[in-house]
Amino acid sequence: MIKINTGILAVNGLLTMTLVGQQGVLAQENAKGTAPNFIVIFADDMGYGDIGVFGHPTIRTPNLDRMAMQGQKWTNFYCAAPVSTPSRAALLTGRLPVRTGMSSEKRRVLFPDSKGGLPQSENTIASLLKEHGYRTAAVGKWHLGHLSQYLPTNHGFESYFGIPYSNDMDKIENTDYLTLIENERYQAYNVPLIRNEKILERPADQRIITRLYTEEIISKILEYKNEPFFLYMAHSFPHIPLFRSADFKGKSLAGIYGDVIEELDWSVGQILETLEKEGLAKNTLVVFTSDNGPWLTFNTHGGSAGLLSGGKGGTFEGGMRVPAIFWWPGKIKSGVIMEMGMTLDLLPTFCKLANVTVPNDRIYDGYDISPVMFGTGPDPRDVVFYYRDVDIFAVRKGAYKAHFFTQSEYGPDARKEHNPPLLFDLNVDPSEKHNIADKHPEVIEAIKKIMNQHRATLKPVENQLEK
């Protein structure tokens, strides 16, 4: 491990460090500016259709729109699970939740009474980059275990500031949801706001949480500006309950949901402007995406998956295809990227760009998608597994997606098996309306083979969500 003397400030972009071990050379190089910075901005339950440039008619998102126009709008980008905890575990580890114990059918996510979390044996983007001289910070929702050993500070992040799980947990008032929102009763949700491993405030004042997260991330950009950094900004919103600061109250045409998205958009603008002002834009890759699709159960307090079917919790496209924007001015060509990508791919991609070797002691499910970003090569990703908890419900291979099981996102119905599976051509039929299983038995056979090959790589693992 490397000790970095953070007491001595950078002079002319060179950082004085106390470097220990063989990774010292890399760390030094990185510190000299050869390594790019990474910022992941992760929305919670934002749907595919909730951003202007992804088609929303009444939510105004000028900052995300310009981020997409200057950068890349990825239209076939996926999270690895349709609910929070497993999706987040996948992004940070580059591994499917079924390998890390972070998915479960009984308890789909972690709850305040959970005793489990992301095992310390797992590498995260933060832990890998930190070992190579990166400064790291996590801000916002964690949801990978709130007991001390699971918190960001024990997973490669130097600091953490945020609400450790979903903002609707620890509900302590019985009033109905809409009345609570109307009266801005954030106190009804007794969620803690944590700095590193200590509670700062409880309940967190959710009305200003987006603003606080934004201030925190900007302070980290300014603190680390002369060193390579990885910042993980995981918003608590637009997950319900919806709150926004006074500046955004009633601002959007689209009601409180629109207000909340527009405040997140403002936050994105603050981050991009800070990077530009500090001369960091050309050396910083910013990725904006969402942990899963919109929570449709909440009607106008849930978002929209646009033209996609389904939402959060399920394995139709709306549940797992998420808005994604990559921004790196001068380094990646502006445009629309229709190749597939997944949050699983961020770990190998960032490591590649940072010249960090991913340890080969375990299976990773992500690919280095930098050839797609730079337009230098084909997409290494041709397959998406749509896990619902610990089971594969659907598989996409190229344009084709086969549903072996379907089930209402949150309905009382049991899973329904499809044999033959439903088959859709997602390029021609992104809304999954026209089943073409009878026309392509050979595609179904190929997909079954891929699924079986994948299944053979799985090993039993301790279930963290049922602990």
> Considering the rule CB under 8 A, would residue 358 count as an interface residue with its own copies?
no
Q: Pick between residue 203 and residue 430 the one whose CB is nearest to its own copies.
A: 430
Q: What are phi and psi of 342, to 5 degrees?
A: -140, 160
> Considering the rule CB under 8 A, would residue 379 count as an interface residue with its own copies?
no
In whole angstroms, give the CA distance from residue 392 to residue 385.
7
For residues 144 to 173, the per-residue mask of contacts with its own copies, x marking binding by CB under 8 A and - elsewhere, is ------------------------------
Q: Pick between residue 76 and residue 153 the one whose CB is nearest to its own copies.
A: 76
CA 198 to chain centroid, in Å, comes to 24
**Inter-CA distances, 198 with 126, 202, 422, 425, Å:** 20, 11, 49, 49
> Considering the rule CB under 8 A, would residue 307 count as an interface residue with its own copies?
yes
Give residues with Cβ within 8 angstroms of 86, minimum separation 6: 80, 97, 102, 103, 108, 109, 387, 389
Asked if 166 contacts 142 with a C-beta cutoff of 8 angstroms, the reply is no
Q: Pick between residue 45 and residue 227 the one whose CB is nearest to its own copies.
A: 45
> Considering the rule CB under 8 A, would residue 33 count as an interface residue with its own copies?
no
> Whose structure tokens read 């301790």?
462
> Considering the rule CB under 8 A, would residue 65 count as an interface residue with its own copies?
yes
> Considering the rule CB under 8 A, would residue 55 count as an interface residue with its own copies?
yes
Give the chain's length: 467
E-assigned strand segments in 349-434: 383-388, 391-397, 400-406, 416-425
Q: What is the total count of residues that contact its own copies (CB under 8 A)?
A: 40
Helix intervals (H) in 229-316? 255-277
Q: Pick between residue 56 and residue 143 the one whose CB is nearest to its own copies.
A: 56
Q: Which of 135, 430, 437, 447 binds its own copies (CB under 8 A)?
A: 430
Q: Which of 5, 148, 175, 300 binds its own copies (CB under 8 A)?
A: 300
Give 119-131 as a DSSP string.
Answer: -TTS--HHHHHHT
In whole angstroms, give the CA distance from residue 189 to residue 205.
9
Q: Pick between residue 132 and residue 381 the one whose CB is nearest to its own copies.
A: 381
Gap between the terminal Cα atoms of the chain: 31
Q: What are phi and psi of 335, to 5 degrees?
A: 155, -175
> Considering the rule CB under 8 A, would residue 328 count as an interface residue with its own copies?
no
**Nearest-approach distance from CB 373 to its own copies, in angstroms:** 17
In the region spanning residues 224 to 283, those forming contacts with its own copies, defined by CB under 8 A, are 253-255, 257-258
Q: Pick between residue 191 and residue 337 the one whose CB is nearest to its own copies.
A: 337
**Nearest-approach distance from CB 375 to its own copies, in angstroms:** 14
**Nearest-approach distance from CB 429 to its own copies, in angstroms:** 6
Give residues with Cβ within 8 angstroms of 33, minimum separation 6: 13, 228, 283
> Whose structure tokens read 């106190």?
187
> Considering the rule CB under 8 A, would residue 36 count as an interface residue with its own copies?
no
> Considering the rule CB under 8 A, would residue 215 count as an interface residue with its own copies?
no
Nearest residue to 281 via CA among 92, 61, 71: 71
> Considering the rule CB under 8 A, would residue 211 count as an interface residue with its own copies?
no
In whole angstroms, give the CA distance from residue 389 to residue 274.
38
For residues 387 to 406, the per-residue mask of contacts with its own copies, x marking binding by CB under 8 A and - elsewhere, is ------------x-------
> Considering the rule CB under 8 A, would residue 336 count as an interface residue with its own copies?
yes
Q: Pick between residue 427 and residue 457 the one whose CB is nearest to its own copies.
A: 427
Q: Which of 4, 31, 46, 49 binds its own copies (CB under 8 A)?
A: 49
The window from 14-22, 69-77, 133-141, 239-247 that contacts its own copies (CB under 8 A) reads: 69-77
Give the β-pairing of 37-43 and 229-234: parallel
The window from 61-69, 78-86, 274-282, 353-361 that contacts its own copies (CB under 8 A) reads: 61-69
Q: What are phi and psi of 25, to 5 degrees?
A: -65, -50
Q: Which residues pair with 340 in a beta bridge?
A: 76
Binding site for its own copies (CB under 8 A): 49, 52-58, 60, 62, 65, 69, 73, 75-76, 253-255, 257-258, 299-300, 304-307, 321, 335-336, 338, 399, 425-431, 433-434
